Amino acid sequence: MRRKLLKSVTMIGAALAMSSGVASAETWDMPMAYSATNFHSATGAEFAKCVTTGTGGSIEIKTHPSGSLFKGADIKRAIQTGQVPIGERLLSGHQNENALFGFDSIPFLATSFDDSAKLWKAAKPTLTKILDEQNLVLLYAVPWPPQGLYFKKEVTSVADMKGIKFRSYNSATARLAELSGMLPVTIEAAEISQAFATGVAESMISSGSTGYDRKVWESLTHFYEVDAWLPRNYVMVNKDSWNGASKANQNVIRGCASLAEYTGLYRSIEYTQFTLNGLKAGGMTVGPAGDKLVSDLKEIGVTMTTEWLDKTGSEGKSIVDAFKAMK
């Protein structure tokens, strides 16, 4: 599949380069929240190169990782308002704007890559429509590895979590902190290392990838595999910028996006065990959570699922029902 996509993009790009001749070039700055070494950023960089090559240089995409151009929380707004034409964002970070953006952060609903793909298939039409209404065109989405819990001490139950300062990155993680007695602190990905080093945060729920990239073993000691959910990063383009691109260039961008979604998923799967091994090599205790902790967390998950369905109404129920019908 990847080979066919790459061949298609190359053929389109070659035809465009031959026909466009002296077409004027555009530079599209693409802000990204995560470090350049993160697999999402690496996938985005390859996508940018694919578009630049495929359009014969008429659209050159330049990526700006680590929140260097816009902080993560500001990226979506920057794309919507045309400050930049394209960017990547964790959409569940905007649950406070629309609870449907948190469909991929419902605890223990989709806990594997296969289930994540089914949930995305169920939710994609609704998410595409919402983004279209916000002047955004969805290009591709890539899941993170399953989310686990990081601590600087051994934790065997939710009772052990009380009073811990917890890094939150969306409404779901903030609510998880509240229901478990922790203290939520909003911290962007680029600020994680400093937050743990200075004691601003003492725990988080995230993938092994985030912890590995930020070398959290310098401050934390335990990672518990709970596979709570698999959130997604999304690459979006401003609708006006999209409509201003030629049909040929739009076809190239779509082709490159399909390739990026495919390779990003592969990377995420491969990166899962690699990063857990990296956490172990850094000195962390890594392994499945105990039965008591899992049981406590699933009780919290039931509460959070009910709350999400209450907020999203029939649209949220339709997504969950469609997902369950695929299982």
Is the confidence at residue 251, as pLDDT, over 50? yes
278 found inside a domain: no
Do 159 and 124 share a domain, yes or no? Answer: no
pTM > 0.85: yes or no: yes
Q: Which residue has the tokens 């052990």?
A: 160
Indicate if the pLDDT at residue 146 is higher than 90: yes
Domain count, the chain: 2
Residue type, 178: E
- Residue 245 per-residue DSSP state: S
Q: Is the pLDDT of residue 6 over 60?
A: no
How does the average pLDDT of the chain come out, rounded? 93
- Answer yes or no: is 23 within a domain: yes
Judgement on whether residues 129 and 101 belong to the same structural domain of the protein: yes
Residues 8 and 73 occupy one common structural domain: yes
Q: Which helix (H) or strand (E) holds 216?
A: none
82 & 211 share domain: no
- Mark whether 110 and 192 lie in a shared domain: no
Q: What is the DSSP letter of 290?
A: P
If asked whether residues 184 and 137 sit together in one domain, one would say no
190/41 Cα distance (integer angstroms): 13
The residue whose two tokens read 């000195």 is: 283
Q: What's the CATH code of the domain at 298? A: 3.40.190.170
Residue 270, CB-side half-sphere exposure with 13 Å CA sphere:
9
Helix (H) or strand (E) holding 292: helix 291-326
- The phi, psi pair for 247, rounded to 5°, reads -60, -40
pLDDT at 258 over 90: yes
DSSP string, 9-59: HHHHHHHHHHHHTTPPPEEEEEE-SS-TTSHHHHHHHHHHHHHHHHTTTSE
- Res 190: pLDDT: 87
46 shares a domain with 167:
no
What integer pLDDT is reported at residue 292 of this predicted model? 97
Answer yes or no: are the C-beta atoms of 190 and 35 closer than 8 Å: yes
Per-residue confidence (pLDDT) for residue 130, from 0 to 100? 98
Contact 168, 183 (CB under 8 A): no
Percentage of residues in the chain having pLDDT higher than 70:
93
The angle, 0 to 180 degrees and rounded to 10, between the axes of the packed helices 291-326 and 113-133 is 60
For residue 182, the enclosing domain spans 148-229+285-326
The pLDDT tens digits for 282-326 are 999 999 999 999 999 999 999 999 999 999 999 999 999 999 999
Residue type, 182: M
Burial label, 290 (beta-carbon count in 10 A; 0-12, 13-18, 19+) = middle
- Does residue 16 surpass a pLDDT of 90? no
pLDDT at 1 over 60: no
DSSP assignment string, 54-106: HTTTSEEEEEETTTTSS-HHHHHHHHHTTSSSEEEEEGGGGTTT-GGGGGGGS
Q: Decide if 186 contacts 237 (C-beta within 8 A).
A: no
Do 141 and 20 lie in a common domain? yes
Cα 308–Cα 230–Cα 215 angle in degrees, nearest 5: 125
Residue 299 and residue 264 share a domain = no
Using CA atoms, how far apart are residues 157 and 136, in angstroms rounded to an integer? 42
- d(CA 91, CA 307) in angstroms, rounded, equals 19
Q: How confident is the model at residue 19 (pLDDT cuts 50, 70, 90)?
A: very low
Same domain? 205 vs 237? no
Residue 140: inside a domain, yes or no? yes
- Distance between CA atoms of residues 176 and 204, nearest Å: 10
